[in-house]
Structure 1
Amino acid sequence: MRQTWRWFGPKDLVSVDEMRQAGVEGVVSALHHVPTGAVWLPDEISRRQREIGLMSDGRPSELAWEVVESLPVSEDIKRQKGDWRAHIENYGKSLRNLAAAGIEVVCYNFMPVLDWTRTDLAWRLPHGGTCMRFDFVDFAAFDIYILQRSGARQDFPDGVADEAARRFAGMDAERKQALARNIAFGLPGAAEHLTLEGLRAHLAEYGGISPAQLRSHFIAFLEQVVPVAEEVGIRLCCHPDDPPFPLLGLPRIMSTEADYAAVLQAVDLPANGITLCSGSLGARPDNDLPGMMRRLGDRVHFLHLRNVTRETDALVGSFHEAEHLGGGTDMVALVGEALKEEARRRIAGRADHSIPFRPDHGQDILDDLKRRAQPGYPAIGRLKGLAELRGIVTALSHAQYGLA
């Protein structure tokens, strides 16, 4: 399993030097400044590779850009409106340019409007650190009373909606604004300038699109780009919905094992694969992460290893980011299945036998609390997670006891 680390570019408050000190083997990054739907040009790709390749004193970092996360899919493609055909063509051009630069793994998602959703970006834990949290009642209060989405009240269980009314009544203006900002942070490119009117406009564009129709749009996209990826040697891997259940009346189509199986079967080429995110999928109690790795493992091209603590046994509910070896997912079992899959690939002679993984998210602890890096991406919290995951891999791979 190849150890990687997500880096948001030169503005990231966790530096290339610190990635190197963490002992990672490769870097996960993206060209966040390029508008969605535009082509990623060779010069821009090369610039990011150079930035990753140098430490602050000019010495080689010995790190390379190995995984793209994410090459975003435009809302036009998802809705099949506007410039969607041109955007698909540009997506293929970007894949060719990335392949020419030596990059082989491209992660993306097909979530309408929202990239991910949390109601609190710095929820205080008993040990004094913080983490990201999704509070279902707070989200209902936002949806019903702040966004005032038509029909929102009917989308929540009576108990949740009633509690949301009580909680909203107790919120002051500052708390309402903070809740809206936190939810806005998961909107691509909109964290700084989202308006409620803008969000309502985005949602209106999806008003008549059912989950079945969105899935058909997704398959149409894959039918165009997967053959390009196959041709140039890129492995595409779709990230699941986060959280993996419907929000804001939007269709969700990548939340379960059945969702993935349907899409893999529809475009049955090796380049059409999975980003298995144990944190996103683990927010649903009916997702069996070790089982998914065992059954779908030959198409898992990238692993996000993190854990969440579900605060209810209900299918939809509150959760918060746990320590990597805490929470509801048996991380030892999941890593064990990943190592078994790698062994099968080695026997089959597959060049992609080493699956890249990264310690996804992390709790803000120690100096993270002062650094205030990208929410969910602290230096020390992720380093702690990486060390724990590295320990599992080392133990399970031991020649005397493990899977080597």
Structure 2
Amino acid sequence: MRQTWRWFGPKDRVSIDDMMQAGVEGVVSALHHVPTGTAWRLQDIEARQLEIGRMKDGSSSGLAWEVVESIPVSEDIKRQTGDWKAHVRAWKTTLENLNSAGIQTICYNFMPVLDWTRTALAHRLPNGATCMRFDLIDFAAFDIHILCRKGAVESFPEDIGELAKERFAQMSEERKHELARDVVFGLPGAAENFSLDDVRTHLSLYAEISEDRLRQHLIDFLSEVAPVAESLGMRLCCHPDDPPFSLLGLPRVMSTEAHYRAVLDAVNLPSNGATLCSGSLGTRPDNDLPGMMERLGDRVHFLHLRNVTRESGGLIGSFYEAEHLGGGTDMVALIAAVLRQEAKRRQAGRLDVSIPFRPDHGQDILDDLGRSAQPGYPAIGRLKGLAELRGILTALSHPVEGIRD
């Protein structure tokens, strides 16, 4: 398993030097400044590689950009509207340019409108740490009473709707503003630019798009780009929906093992694979993470390892980002399944034996609390998570009790 770390570029509060001290082996990054639907130029890709390759004092970091997360998939591609065909061509050009730069693993997602959704970006835990949290009642209050989405009331169970009404009535104006800001933060580019009217407009464009239709659009997209990736020896890996259930009336197509199997079978190429995110998928109690790794493992090209604590028993409910060895996912069993898959790949002579993973998200602890890093991406909280994951990996790989070919 290859230990990687997400970096958002020169503006990231967590530096290349920090990553070096954390002991990571590779970097996950993207060109976030390039507009969606525009091809990434080779010179811009190479410029990011140079940034990753240098420490603050100009000396070599020894690190390389190993995984792209993400090449954005435009809303036009997801809806098959407007310039979607031109955007697909730009995506193919980006693949070719990344391959020219030696980068071959590409994570992306196919979530309509929302990249992820939380109702609090700094929920305080009893020990003083903070984390991201999704509160279903708060979200219902936002959807029904702040966004005022048509049909919102009917999309929640009656008891949740009543609790949301009570919660909203008790909210201060400051809390209403904070809740709207935190929910909208998960929209690409929305943290500073999206108004509630913008959100309503985006949602309206999906009014006639069902889950089946969105899935077909994903298959159509992959039918175009996966053969290009295959010809270049590249690996595409779709990130699951976060959270893995419908919100704001939007369809979801990558929330369960059945969803993944349908898409992987429809475009049955080794290049068409999955990002197994234990945090996103682990939000649903019916997702068996170690089992999914066993059954889908030959097409898993990238891993996000994090944990969540579910605060209710239903398929849809509240949760918060737990410590990496806390929460509902058995991380030891999951990593053991990953190591078994790597052993199979080694026996089969595959070149992609070592599956890259990163410690996804992390609680803000110690000096993180004053650093104001990207939500979910603190330095020390992720370092703690990486250390815990590294400990499991080391123990399971030890010759006394380790996974053997």
Aligned match of 2:256: 256
Aligned match of 1:195: 195
Q: In structure 1, what is the Cα distance between the partners aligned to 2:296 and 2:151?
A: 37
Aligned length: 404
What does the per-residue CA deviation read over 1:235-262, in whole Å, with 9 as the maximum and x for residues that have no partner? 0000000000000000001000000000
Three-state SS of the structure 1 residue aligned to 2:294 is helix
Report the CA distance between 1:194 and its aligned residue: 1.0
Aligned match of 1:38: 38
Aligned match of 1:57: 57
Counterpart residue identity of residue 35, structure 2: P
Aligned match of 2:270: 270
What does the per-residue CA deviation read over 1:116-166, in whole Å, with 9 as the maximum and x for residues that have no partner? 000000000011010000000000000000000000000001111100000
Counterparts in 2 of 1:219-258, with a 5 A limit? 219-258=219-258
Three-state SS of the structure 1 residue aligned to 2:362 is coil
Counterpart residue identity of residue 157, structure 1: P
Counterpart residue identity of residue 269, structure 1: L
Unaligned runs of 5+ in 2: none
Q: In structure 2, what is the Cα distance between the partners aligned to 1:245 and 1:142?
A: 17
Counterpart residue identity of residue 53, structure 1: G
Three-state SS of the structure 1 residue aligned to 2:66 is strand
Three-state SS of the structure 1 residue aligned to 2:133 is strand
Q: In structure 2, what is the Cα distance between the partners aligned to 1:110 and 1:67?
A: 18
Q: In structure 1, what is the Cα distance between the partners aligned to 2:169 and 2:151?
A: 20
Q: In structure 2, what is the Cα distance between the partners aligned to 1:106 and 1:20?
A: 23
Tell whether 2:316 aligns with 1:316. Answer: yes
Tell whether 2:28 aligns with 1:10. Answer: no
- Normalised by the length of structure 2, the TM-score is 0.99
Q: In structure 2, what is the Cα distance between the partners aligned to 1:82 and 1:38?
A: 14
Aligned match of 1:367: 367
Counterpart residue identity of residue 273, structure 2: G
Aligned match of 1:158: 158
Report the CA distance between 1:225 and its aligned residue: 0.1
Report the CA distance between 1:193 and its aligned residue: 1.5
Aligned match of 2:21: 21
Q: In structure 2, what is the Cα distance between the partners aligned to 1:65 and 1:16?
A: 11
Unaligned runs of 5+ in 1: none
Report the CA distance between 1:266 and its aligned residue: 0.0
Aligned match of 2:99: 99
Q: In structure 1, what is the Cα distance between the partners aligned to 2:36 and 2:262?
A: 26
Q: In structure 2, what is the Cα distance between the partners aligned to 1:402 and 1:234?
A: 30
Q: In structure 2, what is the Cα distance between the partners aligned to 1:180 and 1:317?
A: 19
Counterpart residue identity of residue 367, structure 2: D
Counterpart residue identity of residue 65, structure 1: W
Aligned match of 1:214: 214
Three-state SS of the structure 2 residue aligned to 1:352 is coil
- Normalised by the length of structure 1, the TM-score is 1.00
Three-state SS of the structure 2 residue aligned to 1:191 is helix
Q: In structure 2, what is the Cα distance between the partners aligned to 1:369 and 1:26?
A: 26
Counterpart residue identity of residue 25, structure 2: E
Three-state SS of the structure 1 residue aligned to 2:40 is coil
Aligned match of 2:175: 175
Aligned match of 2:124: 124
Counterpart residue identity of residue 157, structure 2: P
Q: In structure 1, what is the Cα distance between the partners aligned to 2:215 and 2:156?
A: 24
Q: In structure 1, what is the Cα distance between the partners aligned to 2:96 and 2:258?
A: 30
Counterpart residue identity of residue 29, structure 1: S
Three-state SS of the structure 2 residue aligned to 1:27 is strand
Three-state SS of the structure 2 residue aligned to 1:208 is coil
What does the per-residue CA deviation read over 1:323-364, in whole Å, with 9 as the maximum and x for residues that have no partner? 000000000000000000000000100000000000000000
Report the CA distance between 1:372 and its aligned residue: 1.1
**RMSD between aligned residues:** 0.4
Percent identity over the alignment is 71
Report the CA distance between 1:92 and its aligned residue: 0.3
Report the CA distance between 1:205 and its aligned residue: 0.4
Aligned match of 1:356: 356
Q: In structure 2, what is the Cα distance between the partners aligned to 1:86 and 1:234?
A: 21
Aligned match of 2:114: 114
Tell whether 2:332 aligns with 1:332. Answer: yes
Q: In structure 2, what is the Cα distance between the partners aligned to 1:370 and 1:190?
A: 23
Q: In structure 1, what is the Cα distance between the partners aligned to 2:51 and 2:119?
A: 33
Three-state SS of the structure 2 residue aligned to 1:390 is helix
Q: In structure 2, what is the Cα distance between the partners aligned to 1:318 and 1:83?
A: 37
Counterpart residue identity of residue 176, structure 2: K
Q: In structure 2, what is the Cα distance between the partners aligned to 1:384 and 1:160?
A: 36
Aligned match of 1:398: 398
Q: In structure 2, what is the Cα distance between the partners aligned to 1:144 and 1:281?
A: 26
Q: In structure 1, what is the Cα distance between the partners aligned to 2:191 and 2:211?
A: 26
Three-state SS of the structure 2 residue aligned to 1:367 is helix
Counterpart residue identity of residue 158, structure 1: E
Q: In structure 2, what is the Cα distance between the partners aligned to 1:351 and 1:367?
A: 40
Three-state SS of the structure 1 residue aligned to 2:309 is strand
List 4+ stretches of structure 1 deviating above 3 A.
Answer: none
Three-state SS of the structure 2 residue aligned to 1:250 is coil
Q: In structure 2, what is the Cα distance between the partners aligned to 1:97 and 1:231?
A: 14
Q: In structure 1, what is the Cα distance between the partners aligned to 2:148 and 2:31?
A: 34
Report the CA distance between 1:78 and its aligned residue: 0.1
